[in-house]
Chains A and B, each alone.
Chain A
Amino acid sequence: MDFFVQLLINGVSIGFLYGLSAMGFVMIFKSSSVLNFAHGEILAFGAFLFLALATWAQLPIALAFVVTLAGAFVLGFVIERIFLRPLIGEPLIQVIMLTVGLAAMFKGGMLLLWGGNLYTYPEFLPEGLGIHWGIVQVPPVYVAAVLIGSLFLLMFGLFFKFSSQGIYMRSVADNQPAALSLGVHVRRVFALSWAIAAMVAGISGIVLGIINGINVHELSSIGLKVFPVVILGGLDSIGGAIIGGLIIGLLETFTGGYLSPSLRDIVPYIALVFILLVKPYGLFGLVEIERV
């Protein structure tokens, strides 16, 4: 029983992080139909930026966190500005290949700076954050993962539902010509979605870094996990990304715990195949509203 509860908790926390990082991916896809293959590298960049700020620059942790978020936001903005914007109107496959190139570039850059070693953050999460209720033992970092995850989800949820800028972003995803005709600044919306996506990836990078340690290869390969997550949840559903993340996270930890650790990377894909057989658009994918 202990073991089960422990796995459940791990699964949910990891799942939350997958969901959070998938959310950034979905955001870019929704607004500009671009599949961002550099997502894992941006995530790793967030983790390393935080490492650099917290250990080398010796900034206080809270400040380092905020600066990392700002840095990732700017990075997303700059990527869109320099690399994506000239390709607006070009065939989608070229844009997607560009993100593959970006991924290689970022990975190379980070390997150059930090090498392939495993780093860890200094201990900064207070011990008191952990939960100890009888058999339920939750280490502080998992509590932090769930807290940060839910906080940002709530914030983005409110942003997209109620703020004007959020509604403009959704309008571009919905019908771009109509948004243009109303004067929505479509290029700004693209830039903003890249910036927010990079920021969200940065957050997941930091938290994953706390859990697993920081390594370029490890973290950027987690970026690949967003694919089963988003395909499971539906490529264009932010809520679906979270649910998909939770499902993949739970599947992974339970497979690792009960079957075999070497299967943990495979079982989620098998589940994916079966779910897609039943729901080809993913669990929450948009089914076109068609009125005849």
Chain B
Amino acid sequence: MESKQLVINNISVVYSDVIQVLKGVSLSVEQGQIVSLLGSNGAGKTTTLKAVSGLLKPENGEVTEGSILFDGLPIHNQSPETITRAGIIQVLEGRQPFKYLTIEENLRVGTATRWGKPYRQDLDKVYHYFPALTKRRKTLAGYCSGGEMQMLVIGRALMAHPRLLLLDEPSLGLAPLIVKEIFQIIERINREDGTTIVLVEQNANMALQIATYGYVMENGKIVMEGGAGDLRENPDVKEFYLGMGAAGTAKSYRDVKAYKRRKRWL
């Protein structure tokens, strides 16, 4: 249990007191690991991340059952101010830069959890990870390209010295080359800073390449888990997330229709 940094224990999440989104999700993440969370739209991946980072509250969501432990301390239903200060930073889905702040000002917002401390060195570190941002430091973030924005929001999170980084679909809407670059950087952050990373992805192929462990979610439940290698080889994952037929061949339309019937693990 000791090396488990984050433990989610059988949590249920309900929005607005009526809409149940998570039904007993359990997962655990070891210190320094990259864990990826896969699943189709609406499976509850983002909600799981928000339950950890405390961002459910502003959306009127609540963890009604179960517990979330970070370093052994319960953090469920705490305010985001407390959780971020404990070292958990979530990078929101869909790149949410501060459009009317410059790149550098955006990065400075990342120092909010340790206000008043020097941040020069951290800026240099972020520019070192993302050289593309250096020459645009005085540009309004709203005018940057999608790839730059994604780098910016990851960099901004790094400014907070996170011990656990929650990344929500960093590949969303980006060109394959940029996606590759960003995933390499994510891997480097994990390796060089020792930051634990939970990665929510649609791009299962990319995610399973850098992750060591993976969970598959469906309908608010974890339906499968395993080492990244095992998941990559799993025929069901292959078929539903990696786009290959069970035998490794491209599928005909008939099989695609059959997928709806077959996609039931429980």
Residues of A that sit less than 8 Å from B by CB: 89, 164-165, 167-168, 170-171, 174-185, 286, 289, 291
In Å, the complex CA distance between A196 and B116 comes to 20
Find B55's partner among A89, A174, A175, A177 (CB 8 Å cutoff). A177
Given A170-B100, A185-B112, A178–B92 Cβ distance below 8 Å? yes
Most buried by A among B80, B90, B116, B160: B80
Cα A100 to Cα B140 with chains together (Å): 36
Please classify the interface of chain B as helix (H, G, I), strand (E, B), loop, or mixed, using the class held by over half of its residues: helix
Contacts of B197-240 to chain A: CB distance below 8 A:
none
Residues of A within 8 A of B53 (CB): 181
Report the minimal beta-carbon distance from B112 to chain A, rounded to whole angstroms: 4
* Contact between chains at B98 and A170 (CB < 8 Å): yes
- A174: nearest residue on chain B (CB-CB)? B98
Chain B interface size range:
35 or more
Most B CB contacts (10 A, CB to CB) among A164, A180, A184 go to A180
B101 touches A182 (CB 8 A): no
The 10 closest A-B pairs by CB, nearest first: A183-B84, A289-B142, A183-B113, A174-B98, A178-B96, A184-B112, A171-B109, A171-B98, A183-B112, A180-B80
Q: Which residues of B does A touch, CB under 8 Å?
A: 53, 55, 58, 60, 80-81, 83-85, 89-92, 96-101, 105-106, 108-113, 115-116, 140, 142-143, 153, 156-157, 160
List the B side residues contacting A170 at CB < 8 Å.
98, 100-101, 105
Check A183/B99 contact, CB under 8 A, given A165-B115, A167-B108: no
CB < 8 Å neighbour of A168 from B90, B109, B157: B109
Q: Are B115 and A164 in contact (CB under 8 A)?
A: yes
Q: Tell me the bound Cα distance from A89 to B16 in angstroms.
A: 13
CB atoms of B55 and A164 under 8 A apart: no
Residue of chain A at shortest CB distance from B81: A185
Task: Given A177-B58, A289-B143, decide whether A167 and B80 contact each other with a Cβ distance below 8 A.
Answer: no
Closest to B145 in A: A291
Q: Which A residues are in CB contact (< 8 Å) with B99?
A: 174-175, 289
Which residues from A are CB-within-8-Å of B85? 183
Q: Which residues of B contact A180 (CB under 8 A)?
A: 55, 58, 80
Give A185 to B54 CA distance when docked, in angstroms.
13
Q: Check B112–A178 contact: CB distance below 8 A.
A: no
A residues within 8 A CB of B106? Answer: 171
Q: Could you tell me the distance between the alpha carbons of A291 and B99 in the complex, rounded to whole angstroms?
A: 11
Would B101 and A181 count as touching, CB distance under 8 A? no
Closest residue of A by beta carbon distance from B105: A167
Determine whether the beta carbon of B92 is less than 8 Å from that of A181: yes
Are the CB atoms of A179 and B81 closer together than 8 Å?
Answer: no
